[in-house]
Amino acid sequence: MKKNMLLISFITLTVASSHAQPGRGENPKFDPAFNPYEKVLDDTARGKRTARFLKYLTTPEVLRDYFYSSPCNDFAVLADTRISQFKAFVEKFKSMPMDPKQMKIAEDNYKKKGLAKLNADLAYEIEHLEKQGSYTGNAKEPIENIICRAKGNIQTLKNNLAYLEAVKEFFPSTPGLEEAIQTARDGISKYGNNKTIIASIKSNKNEAIANVYLPKAVAQNAEWEGWFSKWFAREYPGYTLVRQSLLSSNWYIKKNEISGNPEYRHLGTAIGAKDTEGRCWIIKVDLFQDYLGGKFDASRFKLGGKDEMVCENL
């Protein structure tokens, strides 16, 4: 009995201990307390230590995929932490004896490859950043998500700048180095705060929706318009239907390629509407009627798209 009680107590204590360890089994790359450079320079042999340093002389990690939607601030803090750890790693190596032969080989490689490609990548990041808010689909999603993507652009510039400044410490004659550093600094200087990012995104969104108009109607048919209006009222409660433009002047009938029998018929429309917050939208809808039992069946609807527009254009 005592043995059983001791065994139960041991198992309970073991399970409790395992649950009491935060982060157990988690990927350390998500942990700000984890330092990927901590033990890189522990080797006492100069040659091995230099080789290890050169292996880790790369851009500090940015978890870019996690900047796609809000919230993303924790990932920005994590990336900034990796920058600080990387800079401390570089400073530590500078204070240690280096293998001159390996450093010379590395310098020659940097001179041979240059940094033209990285500079082009940085320029693309800035271009992508400047267009945030103007891309297809941006009008349909929360601005917080777009801000996170812009922050991902900025963070990529910051982490690459840390790498470039480290390269300058050891290999200052690398072709394209100064240009790449300036590109990164310019982007960070121009868009490195939330106010500038938000202003740019809002400006892009406003410019994009300013060019959106309700298509002209190709036909008028009260019965067809009524079908779409009933669907709209059911699917968008609280919205106000302002205008409707039929996009079909007649039924499109899809026929079977072998038998020639009808499969379904189709109509399309565009609805201009105002939501409960006063924003205006174009909602495109398709109506289908399947051909069953020698006749066309009840209507089924499919949303074709929803795009924000300036109310004055409605």
pLDDT in tens, 64-82: 999 999 999 999 999 999 9
All residue ranges of the chain with pLDDT < 70 are: 1-25
Peptide bond into 71 cis (omega under 30): yes
Burial of 26 (0-12, 13-18, 19+ CB in 10 A): exposed
Q: Quote the pLDDT of residue 134.
A: 87
Q: Quote the pLDDT of residue 92.
A: 98
Query: What phi, psi does 42 have (nearest 5°)?
Result: -75, -20
Q: Quote the pLDDT of residue 2.
A: 44
Q: Quote the pLDDT of residue 21.
A: 33
Q: Which of 63, 58, 23 is nearest to 37 (CA)?
A: 58
Longest dimension (CA), the chain: 89
Give the separation between CA 71 and CA 82, rounded to whole angstroms: 19
Q: Quote the pLDDT of residue 37.
A: 97
Give the separation between CA 171 and CA 189, rounded to whole angstroms: 25
Residue 132: half-sphere exposure toward Cβ, Cα within 13 Å: 27
pLDDT in tens, 94-108: 999 999 999 999 999
Helix, strand, coil percent values for the chain (each to nearest 5): 55, 15, 30
Alpha-carbon distances, residue 32 vs 39, 42, 89 (angstroms)? 16, 21, 16
- Residue length of the chain: 314
Per-residue burial over 172-210, b = 16 or more CB atoms within 10 Å of its CB, e = otherwise: eebebbebbbebbbebbeebeeeeebbebbeebbeebbe
